[in-house]
Chain A
Amino acid sequence: MSKKITFTSISDLPPLVVSLGTTEVNPTGSWRYLRPVYHDKTAPCIEGCPASEDIEQYMYWAARGDFDKAWEVLVEENPFPAVCGRVCYHPCESSCNRDHFDQSLGINSIERFIGDHGLDFSLDKFKLAGEREQKIAIAGAGPAGLAAAYHLRRLGYQVVVYEKEEKPGGILQYGIPRYRLPKDILAAEISRLERFGVEIKTGVQIGKDISWEEFLQHDAVFLAIGVHKSRKLNVPGEDLDGVLAGLDFLSRINKGENIQLGKKVAVIGGGNTAMDAVRTALRLGSTPAIYYRRTRAEMPAILDEIEEAEREGIPMEFLVTPVELIGENGALKAMKLQKMKLGEPDESGRRRPVPVEGSEYVVEVDNVITAIGEQGDFTSIPEKLVEWGVVKSDAFGQTEQRPVFAGGDIIEQPHTVVHAIGSGKKAAMAIHTYLNGGDIAPLTDKIRVGDKGGYSFLRFRDGHEGDPIDNREVVTFEHINTSYFTRKDRHEVPELDVGARITSFEEVKGTIDREAAMDEALRCFNCGVCNMCDNCLVFCPDVAIKRRDDRFRYEIDYAYCKGCGICVIECPRSALSLIPEGK
C-alpha cells in the first residue's frame, strides 16, 4: 500500500500538479457488502461414485498427462482401478454435469486407462502408519473384503482374509466372465495387495474350516462373504437335467469347466447375471435368448451390458415368465411361458408384472439358466446378525455385535462391485475408529462426499479436523458457466467385432490410448474445484486477485476487493462463492 501524502503548506506542493502517490491509499474493500471466497465443492461424479473416487482430481492430472499422479489419486479411495475401469456400471457418468451440455465424460474409460497404466505399481506409498499389533480377520476375498483389507493395511493393521474358494476375487473371479474382466488384470490388482502385506488364505470357509468363535478371536472382523445362492423359479420341473443356476453356471465356466450346453438356451432374468450368462452361453456355441417378465426399461442390468448383448444378436423376450419346465425322461425339453403385462408399481418403484390369463405357450429349449437373483447363505453366521436375508448393519457396516463389521452384497445395498468396494472402505474407517476407542458417527459430516452415502478416505485420514469447507455442497449444471466450454463428443471405446466376440472369451472392450485419455479428461468441467484457469485473475477490475506466492491458485486482497462478484460468476466451475460480508 502506498503512503498517504500530506501537504502542510503551500511550499510543500510541487510546481506542477503531478500525482506521485498511488490509489492504493484507498482501501476500497470497505465498499464491499458481498465477499467472494474460494470454496471448493463436490463434483456430482464423486457424489455419484459409491467408492467416492476423487474423479475430478484424477481428471485434472490425466488431462495434463500425469497418469502416475492420476493413479495415486484414484487408488487413494479404490485399490481396483483396472477392475472398475472394466466392470463398473459407472453411476459417475450418469451424474456428470457434462451430460446436460453434450455427452457425459467417459470417466470409466479414463479410469481403465489409468488402472492399466498403474497395473505394476506398488502400493507402498499408501502406507499411512507403522505396523500395529491388532489383527483383523476378513471373511471373503471379494471386492468388499479386499477393499477393507487394503485400507486397514494402510492404517498399519495385520490383516488376514479368509476365502472359501481356491482363488481370491469373489464375484470378480467367479462371477464376471473373462470377456469383461480378463483374469490377469484381476490377478495383478490382487497380487499387488498381497505384496502390500494383505494375507489371503484361500480354501478356508468360516464356520467350516475355521469356527465362528475362532474367527471372532481377532481384534475386529469384517464379513463380506457375498451372496451366491441363485433364487429358485419355484415352478414344476426345476430339477430336470439341463436346468442350471446362473451364478453357478458362470462360476463353473470361470473355473475352467467344460460345460456342454444344448442348442437352444433360455436365460431367465434381466439382471447382470442374466446378461453374463446369456453372453457366455453364446460364446459356448449355443443360440441363447433372454426371457424377462417385465420390459427392457425395467431390466436391472447395466445398460451397457444389455446393449452389448443386443449387439451380439441375442434375442430378448419381454413380459413373459416360465410357469413350467417340461421334461422327457428327466431331461429338459421345453418351457411353458405365460405372458405378462405391467400393473401398478411395486415397492421398488417398477411396475409389477401381472399374468395375462390364458396366454400360456410352449417353446422348445435344451437348457434353462435361471438368473432371477441371488440370496445369501448365512448358516455360518449367528442368527441375531441377520434379518430379512441381509446382515443388519449401519452405513459403515457396523453390526449389532462388536467387533463384527459387514459389507458387500450381504448388507442392504445395491449388489455392485463399486458398492462393495465402497462398503469395504467405510467399514475400514469404522473399524479403525472402533479400535482406537472412538466412534465414526461424529466424523461422518467431515468425511461425507455429497449426500448419496459416499465417504472419503482421504478426508478421513487427514482432512476431517477443522476443515472449514463444507464439501457436501454438490455442483449442479446451473452452477457451470458453459461459456467457457466448447461442445465435443466423447471418445469412443474400442470394441471387438461381434464376429470375433462370439467365438472366444476375448475381452470385448479395449483401453483407449494415452492421447484419447488425455483428450477425454480435458472435457472434464472440473466441477467445483479450482484448476487454475485464471478467469478470476483475468476478469478482476480491481486488481485484487493475485496468484499465490507458491503459484498454486490465487488469493483475494480484501483490502481492495469491492465485491463486484465477477470472479464468482465467471468461474467456469463454481469454485468460488459469494457470501454476505460480516458473516
Chain B
Amino acid sequence: MNHVDIQPRIPEPELMYSGHLACPGCGASLAMRYALKALGKNTMVIIPACCWSIIAGPFPYSALDVPIYHTAFETAAAVASGMKAALDQLGKSDVTVMAWAGDGGTYDIGFQALSGAAERNEDFLYVCYDNEAYMNTGIQRSSSTPFGAWTTTTPENHTKERPKKDIVGILAAHRIPYLATVSVAYPEDFIRKFQKAKSIRGMKFIEILSPCPPGWKTADDQSIRISRLAVESRIFPLLEIEHGEKYTLNLEPEGISVRDYLEAQGRFKKLSEKDVEHIQKEVDRKWEALKKRIS
C-alpha cells in the first residue's frame, strides 16, 4: 500500500530518551515528553525531590536531552528564580527555565518558594505534575490527595477526609500572567499551552493531572483513559487563566458521572454511595463557580 503524506500531530523531535525509570504507564513520563516537545532544546529543567528525581536516571545518565538541575524538595521555585537570574546575567535570556515538581514539592513542601516566586512574578515556568500523593516514597497522602482516596497514610476505613487543595485558585490569586491545566489525554491542548507559556514573560504555572498506576491502583494501560475521564467528568477542567482574571475553558465536556472516573481506580474502592454523591455535588458546585468566571 502506498501512503499519503503524514502530518504529525505533535512536534516530532524527541528530547526524552527511552530507558528512563518511570513505572509502566506513568503519566508523568508522558507529560515530560510532551512538555519538551513543546519547549524545545533551549530549555533547562529544575527537578526537586519527586518521582522524576528517579525517572531521570542515576548519575552519570540522564533521561533528557536538556540540562536537569536536581535540587532539594522545597527549593524548585527558588532555584528556578536563581537560574533565570544567572542566565539573564550571562545574556542567555532566550533559555526557557522550567521547574518540574510533583504535588508534594508544589502543594506542600515547595509551597513557600512557589508562592514567593509567583508574587515576585519571576520569569520561569513552574510545572506541577500532580499524581495526588507522595508516590515515589510509597504513596503517602499530600494536600493534593482528593477526598476519599486511599493512600498508605490514609488507609482503608480512614481514607482522606479533607478535600484536595485548590492550587489553581491559589496561584490565580497571585495574579500571575499565565496559569493553565493540562491532561496527558489531550496532547494537542497540552503542547499548545506549553508553547503559549514559553512565549509569555513572567511567572507561568501549569498543573498536570498525572495518573500513577501503582498509586491510583489502576492497570498500566489505563492512564490515558483515566485522564480523559477526569476531564469528561469535570473533575479536572482544562482551562487557562491570565493575570488571575481572564478565564478560558478549553473544552466543555458533556459531564459524565464522577462515578465513571472513581470506579476506574482502586484507590477509590472504599467510597460509599454517600461519598460518591458528595464528590459529585462538589464537582457540580465547582463547575458552576468556574462557569461564572468564564468571560
A543 near B33: Cβ-Cβ < 8 Å: yes
Interface 9-residue window, one of A17-25, A148-156, A412-420, A459-467: A17-25
Interface 9-residue window, one of B4-12, B237-245, B271-279: B4-12
Q: Mark A546-580, 1 if CB is under 8 A from B, else 0.
A: 01000110000101101111101110000000100
Contacting B at CB under 8 A, from A7-35, are 7, 14, 17-28, 31-32
A532 near B3: Cβ-Cβ < 8 Å: yes
Interface 9-residue window, one of B72-80, B161-169, B192-200, B215-223: B215-223
A552 near B61: Cβ-Cβ < 8 Å: no
Shortest A215–chain B CB gap in Å is: 41
Contacting B at CB under 8 A, from A373-396, are none
B3 near A538: Cβ-Cβ < 8 Å: no
Residue of A nearest to B225 (CB): A569
Interface 9-residue window, one of B17-25, B45-53, B123-131, B283-291: B17-25
Complex CA gap A539/B225 in Å reads: 11
A195 within 8 A of B: no
Report which residue of A69, A560, A566 has the largest number of chain B beta carbons within 10 angstroms of its beta carbon.
A566
A564 near B228: Cβ-Cβ < 8 Å: no
Q: Which residues of chain A come closer than 8 Å to B91, judged between CB atoms?
A: none
B57 near A539: Cβ-Cβ < 8 Å: no
Q: Which residues of chain A come closer than 8 Å to B187, judged between CB atoms?
A: 538-539
| Interchain CB contact (< 8 A) of B60 among A20, A560, A578 | A20
Tell whether A542 pairs with B29 under 8 Å between CB atoms, given A21-B62, A57-B1, A569-B221.
yes
Complex CA gap A17/B62 in Å reads: 12
Residue of B nearest to A19 (CB): B62
Tell whether A543 pairs with B14 under 8 Å between CB atoms, given A27-B19, A66-B4, A69-B2.
yes
Shortest B184–chain A CB gap in Å is: 8
Residue of A nearest to B65 (CB): A22
Complex CA gap A570/B20 in Å reads: 22
| Interchain CB contact (< 8 A) of B18 among A7, A20, A21, A24 | A24
| Count of residues in A whose CB is under 8 Å from the partner chain | 47
Shortest A11–chain B CB gap in Å is: 15
A23 near B21: Cβ-Cβ < 8 Å: yes
A566 near B19: Cβ-Cβ < 8 Å: no
A259 within 8 A of B: no
A348 within 8 A of B: no
| Interchain CB contact (< 8 A) of B24 among A18, A31, A532 | A31
Tell whether A565 pairs with B62 under 8 Å between CB atoms, given A27-B19, A534-B8.
no
B6 near A542: Cβ-Cβ < 8 Å: no
Tell whether A566 pairs with B57 under 8 Å between CB atoms, given A24-B18, A541-B29, A543-B33.
no
B61 near A25: Cβ-Cβ < 8 Å: yes
| Interchain CB contact (< 8 A) of A564 among B4, B18, B25 | B25
Tell whether A565 pairs with B59 under 8 Å between CB atoms, given A27-B19, A532-B3, A570-B224.
no
Tell whether A566 pairs with B223 under 8 Å between CB atoms, given A541-B29, A544-B18.
yes
B30 within 8 A of A: yes
B25 near A566: Cβ-Cβ < 8 Å: yes
B176 within 8 A of A: no
A23 near B18: Cβ-Cβ < 8 Å: yes
B17 near A22: Cβ-Cβ < 8 Å: yes
B61 near A21: Cβ-Cβ < 8 Å: yes
Residue of B nearest to A561 (CB): B18
A26 near B6: Cβ-Cβ < 8 Å: no
Shortest A201–chain B CB gap in Å is: 39
Q: Mark A215-227, 1 if CB is under 8 A from B, else 0.
A: 0000000000000
Shortest A22–chain B CB gap in Å is: 5
Residue of A nearest to B70 (CB): A17
B63 within 8 A of A: yes
A541 near B2: Cβ-Cβ < 8 Å: no
| Interchain CB contact (< 8 A) of A568 among B1, B10, B221 | B221
Shortest B280–chain A CB gap in Å is: 21
A64 within 8 A of B: yes
Q: In the complex, given contacts A28-B20, A541-B26, what are 18 additional A-B residue pairs having Cβ atoms less than 8 angstroms apart?
A: A17-B59, A19-B57, A19-B68, A21-B61, A22-B17, A22-B57, A22-B65, A26-B21, A66-B4, A483-B228, A534-B10, A541-B223, A543-B33, A552-B1, A562-B25, A564-B213, A565-B219, A568-B221
Identify the 8 closest CB pairs spanning chains A and B, nearest first.
A565-B221, A560-B18, A564-B25, A26-B19, A564-B24, A23-B19, A562-B24, A564-B220
Chain B interfacial positions (CB closer than 8 Å to A)? 1-4, 6, 8-10, 12, 14, 16-27, 29-30, 33, 56-57, 59-63, 65, 68, 184, 187, 213, 219-225, 228
